[in-house]
Amino acid sequence: MSTVTAGDYSVEFEIPADAYNIWYTLSYKQGGGEYEQGYAPALALKRTMCEQIETAMTAEVQRRKAEGDT
């Protein structure tokens, strides 16, 4: 028997430099944000991406449930 966990998978995609720079300036360096809290940019970006992906996935699951497509 084999167990597969979410940690067994990864996703790779390019982040355009402009998009990163916008996130860095408007989110990461925002007053009271993760920069001031001592988080490294890579960790802060990972946290931001996880939050946004989880929000999008939750909305998609709710949409499918509402449509009876589960």
- 21-67 pLDDT tens trace: 999 999 999 999 999 999 999 999 999 998 999 999 999 999 999 99
For residues 66 and 63, give the distance between their C-alpha atoms in angstroms, rounded to a whole number. Answer: 5
pTM, full prediction: 0.73
Radius of gyration of the chain measured on its C-alpha atoms? 16
User: Largest alpha-carbon pair distance within the chain?
Assistant: 50
